[in-house]
Amino acid sequence: SQQGEEDPQALSIQEGENATMNCSYKTSINNLQWYRQNSGRGLVHLILIRSNEREKHSGRLRVTLDTSKKSSSLLITASRAADTASYFCATGRDDKIIFGKGTRLHILP
């Protein structure tokens, strides 16, 4: 069964603005990962956050995890045209990694 669900389904923002995407899940997890998929390409790993971590940074990316609310957020600061892509959260539990449906992010020039 599907584990993570991203919100919003689609997001359009101006270049330079910050983009925030959320992921909610239903059952307990070991960790949560975020991936990016450019149009017509495979998914690329961005960041992993473990269940005992609350926040993690990588360059312009900031990920938070709230296990009590079963939710995570991905913040991309100072967005660029190259950030246009779909973003997926993937939750890990019992040796399975399950992906959500993704958020389509479009950066407007």
Q: How far is CA 23 from CA 16, 44, 79, 81, in A?
A: 23, 17, 19, 23
Omega before 109 within 30 of 0, i.e. cis: no
Closest approach of Cβ 14 to another protein, in Å? Answer: 24
Nearer to another protein, 44 or 81 (CB): 44
65 is a contact residue toward another protein (CB under 8 A)? no
Name residues whose C-beta falls within 8 Å of residue 71's C-beta, 6 or more positions apart in sequence: 22, 23, 24, 25, 65
31 is a contact residue toward another protein (CB under 8 A)? yes
Q: Out of 15, 75, 97, 106, point to the residue binding another protein (CB under 8 A).
A: 97
Distance in angstroms (rounded) separating the CA atoms of residues 36 and 6: 13
DSSP state of 82: G
Closest approach of Cβ 16 to another protein, in Å? Answer: 26
Closest approach of Cβ 78 to another protein, in Å? Answer: 25
Number of residues binding to another protein, judged by CB under 8 A: 30
- The residues that touch another protein, with contacts defined as CB under 8 A, are 2, 29-31, 33, 35, 37, 40-45, 48, 50, 86, 88, 90-99, 101-102, 104
